[in-house]
Structure 1
Amino acid sequence: IALIPALYATLYIDAAWGDWTAATIFLFAAATDFWDGWIARRFELQSSFGRMLDPIADKLIVATCLLLLVHQNIITDIHLVAAIVILCREILVSGLREYLGELRVAMPVSSLAKYKTAIQFFALMCLLTDKAGEAAYAYTPQIGLALLWIAAGLTMITGYDYLRKGLQHT
């Protein structure tokens, strides 16, 4: 969460090194997301606060990146649908978790949702490098957009799954 302002600032540097810096910051945030969860589980350091904050951090970094990439016309046209699906699901699941929390019902993150998050992170990495990535590998933006659509599909599946499970407690 603390890296979001730096990510935002580096995306507005109109040079390849700005794209690479933004991608590096994003990669660091994604890596710490993975490692802090792994360490917490491995050494039994899990907490209610961590379980609550981790999905919020994921959603904030994903939403920030999607909005910035749309603003910079990197995600455009029909690809906006994938970004909107992802953002809507994130808001829906957050609201559902909040509601279920009041009922004292835990909704753990599913394995498929973890894969979805990983694919989203890879998609955003490709898209964040935009012009710099295109210079390194011509198909980087197209790979990012394809992964974004895969993530949107998984987003709909996991969103439906969470909604179905949540409705069982109403």
Structure 2
Amino acid sequence: MLTDLPNVLTLSRIAAIPVLVALVAVHRPMADLIACLLFILAGITDYLDGHIARARHQFSDLGRMLDPIADKLLIGASLMVLAGLGRLPLWGLYPAIVILLREILVSGLREHLAGRRVSLPVTRLAKWKTAFQMGALGVLLAGDSTARLIGIAWLPVGLIGALMLWVAALLTLVTGWDYLVTGLRHVGQPEARSTASSGQAVP
């Protein structure tokens, strides 16, 4: 149901995307700070919707569909607006491309395996990838302008964000390869009768 709190939180993550893009496009210190805070808030809702769904047993096909879509839309929009405005230092466009391609790959694998009633297990490394990815984007959205605004101009915020994005891209390659190998094992096999995991979405 759309009115279930987990689904409302997921939809709020999607609704935040145009606001986030507009704030980044303004590219003023206060706008960058608000964009960073909005992104952090969206990340918190990503945790809360799953936590609340489990606590209240409010699982639904709609929620399982919307949650990974919302995550990928948020990440993709953030990467594209930062790249489009030239705010990815240290050749940051290349790890951004790797991350986007991995998201497309995993979406394709998930769609294929769903027809076989198989889901990809969430690995600890994938969770680290998500943490670095979200952290990098939050830092890059804040940027050096926010550092100047809050009085820490000496801190190379943009450089730190770019380095974190490279780490996230490296973890993305490793986890993406693992998921690809797992998916290829099921190609040509008969449909499974049980899932490989609890049904949690691959991060």
**Corresponding residue for residue 133 of structure 1:** 146
> How high is the sequence identity, in percent, across the aligned residues?
46
The 3 A distance-change label for structure 1 pair 55 and 120 is same
Q: What pairs with 1:93-132 in structure 2 (closer than 5 Å)?
A: 93-132=106-145
**Between Structure 1 and Structure 2, which shows a larger proportion of helix residues?**
1
Q: What residue in structure 1 maps to residue 199 of structure 2?
A: none
**Counterpart Cα distance in 1 of 2:54 and 2:160:** 32
SS at match of 2:15: coil
- The one of 18, 33, 49 equivalent to 1:36 is 49
- Please give the alpha-carbon distance, in whole angstroms, between the structure 1 residues aligned to 2:87 and 2:37: 18
For structure 1, the residue ranges without an aligned partner over 5 or more in a row are none
Match of 1:6 in 2: 19
2: CA distance between counterparts of 1:110 and 1:45? Answer: 24
Question: If you compute each CA radius of gyration, which structure gives the higher value, 1 or 2?
Answer: 2
Return the match for 2:98 from 82, 85, 100: 85
Q: Deviations over 1:120-143 (max 9, x none)?
A: 111001100113333143221111
Kindly report the root-mean-square deviation, in angstroms, between the aligned alpha carbons of the 2 structures: 1.6
Whole-angstrom CA distance in 2 between matches of 1:152 and 1:124: 12
Indicate if the aligned counterparts of 1:100 and 1:166 stay in contact, CA closer than 8 A.
Answer: yes
Kindly state the Cα deviation for residue 57 of structure 1 after the two structures are TM-superposed. 1.4
Structure 2 letter corresponding to 1:39:
I
Q: Which residue, 175, 184, 193 being the options, matches 1:167? A: 184
The gaps in structure 2 that reach 5 residues or longer are 1-13, 188-203
TM-score, normalization: structure 1?
0.91
Structure 1 stretch displaced more, 119-128 or 50-59? 50-59
Q: Does 1:152 align with 2:169?
A: yes
Q: TM-score, normalised by structure 2?
A: 0.78
Deviates more, 1:13-22 or 1:102-111: 102-111
Deviations 1:56-103 (A, max 9, x none): 211111111100110111115622111111010000110111111122
**Which stretch of structure 1 is more off in the superposition, 103-112 or 53-62?**
103-112
